[in-house]
Structure 1
Amino acid sequence: LKQKWTYWYLNDDRQACWEDRLKPVCTFSTVEEFWALYNNIRPPSGLNCLCDYNVFKNGIQPMWEVPENRKGGRWLITIEKGRPGEIMDLIWLEILIAMIGEQFGEDMDLICGLVCNVRGKGSKVSDECVDWSAEEGNLRIGQVLKQKLLGAEVPPGCATPLFDWLKYEDHDSCQKKSGSTVKVSRL
């Protein structure tokens, strides 16, 4: 791999503060190290509700408040409640491989990590970007995400497409809970 990545886990202990729930699991820098880790942990569908997986460039914490993320945004894919767990696992793995495999070309510098939030009302996978104002680069990232997911081999019995739409949100608007989102595509 061209760079090191850190796999993080956020547990579901709501009694602890958020920072104490977030733990680095492993840092990897080779394909072999990645698969050794990935094949020995639960897939996202096996996590408890309120748990997260994060994979970020080594040295960047998966928090909006850190300098590398403060002016960022995210491409968001929502997985509706009731969809098979294999769908979330496939979306996570397809985007994860694209990210660590540098398949976003010249726009890799805009990507800081990937997040999977397991929630009861519907889970989310989001590709985290460092600069919400880099509109052209962020749009190209969204196009690659769409291409990767539309080209994914879907497990038998699972409805296609894997997602209904992608949307891009800047972190500042998300924190303020305002509606500054852009619907990029409806499939």
Structure 2
Amino acid sequence: MAQNNSNGNSNSLQVPTGDNKYVTVFNDPVNFNAKHPLNNSWTLWFDNPGKKSNANNWEQSLKELITFDTVEDFWGVYNNIMKTCDLSVSSNYHLFKQGIKPMWEDSANKHGGKWSIQLPRNKTMSDIDNIWLYTMLACIGEAFEHESEVCGVVVSVRKAFFRIALWTRSSDNRDVAMSIGRTLKGQIGVDGAFEFQPHHDTKTGGKPWVV
């Protein structure tokens, strides 16, 4: 997780200047002053469009919450936002690389697709927070062989299920897509089929790839 990031940080710790001794979160979870940089900066978004939302006004409900680029700042965010299991129906968290909006129309997404799985609420309610956490950790920790293909991940809260989805930059290379899908499934340890579908096929109902 703590390697070169998009801002040119090296894989060494970010430490204070001067004579102060650096203290990591592993030494002192409250008074640490050193941070472990991520390879990329990530932005957390939230929306709860409600019943009156449609394709024309959905973007108005999308809120950019915060951007972080270190391990410690990720945990600071995660520990201070509402957990997925407590969100109201129709809510969505989106975690995307900085500069990419969680929209099909974004230039990074428009030629891509998504891996997704639906998790029944009655079976996964107690586990969904951990499943979402492992999904985010797989992304910010760059667990994927084709990491540059990963744009972001989404968790959606619906009346009967939760949905986890990972968005990719492209959708025309089956081997690359399948590699990402297999890694995602292994990282979060969930039974059931993950399906990949290009964004442009979502409305036409093309047959998805499955792992």
Deviation by residue 1:122-146 (Cα, 9 ceiling, x = unmatched): 1200011110112211111111112
Supply the RMSD in Å over aligned alpha carbons: 1.4
Q: Scaled by the length of structure 1, what TM-score is found?
A: 0.86
**1:94 maps onto 2:134 in alignment:** yes
Q: Residue 46 of structure 2 corresponds to which residue in structure 1?
A: 9
1:43 to 72, 76, 83: 83
Asked if the contact 1:79–1:163 (Cα under 8 Å) also holds between the matched residues in 2, the reply is: no
Q: Secondary structure at the match of 2:107?
A: coil
The match for 2:172 is: 133
Name the CA distance, whole Å, in 2 between partners of 1:166 and 1:113: 16
Contact 1:77 1:166 in 2 (8 A): yes
1:107-126 matches, cutoff 5 A: 107-126=146-165
**Which string of whole-angstrom CA distances, capped at 9 and with x for unpartnered residues, describes residues 123-177 of structure 1?**
2000111101122111111111122123xxxxxxxxxxx331111111111133x
Does the aligned pair in 2 maintain the 1:170–1:180 contact within 8 Å?
no
Contact 1:78 1:163 (C-alpha < 8 Å) held by counterparts: no
What residue in structure 2 maps to residue 170 of structure 1?
Answer: 198
TM-score (norm 2): 0.77
Is the 2:49–2:58 Cα contact (8 Å) retained in structure 1? no
Aligned counterparts of 1:111 and 1:84: Cα–Cα separation in 2: 25
CA–CA separation in structure 2 for the residues paired with 1:111 and 1:41: 24
Give secondary structure in 1 for the equivalent of 2:203: helix
Q: Give the corresponding residue for 1:56.
A: 96
Q: How many residues align structurally?
A: 171
1:68 maps onto 2:95 in alignment: no
Most deviating of 44-53 and 10-19: 10-19
- Which letter maps to 2:202? C
Structure 1 portions without partners, runs of 5+: 151-161
CA contact under 8 A between 2:112 and 2:199: conserved in structure 1? yes
| Structure with the greater alpha carbon radius of gyration | 2
Counterpart CA distance in 2 for 1:23 and 1:172 is 24
Kept in 2, the 8 Å contact 1:55–1:113? The answer is yes
- CA distance in 1 between counterparts of 2:117 and 2:100 reads 22
Encode CA deviations 1:82-121: one digit per residue, 9 max, x unaligned: 123232212211111010011113x011000000111113
Quote the offset at 1:54 in angstroms. 0.2
Pair 1:183 & 2:210 matched: yes
1:144 and 2:186 correspond: no
Match of 2:8 in 1: none
User: Deviations 1:27-85 (Å, cap 9, x if unpaired)?
Assistant: 00001111000000011111100010000000000001111111111111111131232
Structure number with higher helix proportion: 1
Q: Which amino acid aligns with 2:85?
A: S
Among residues 124, 127, 146, which one is paired with 1:84 in the alignment?
A: 124
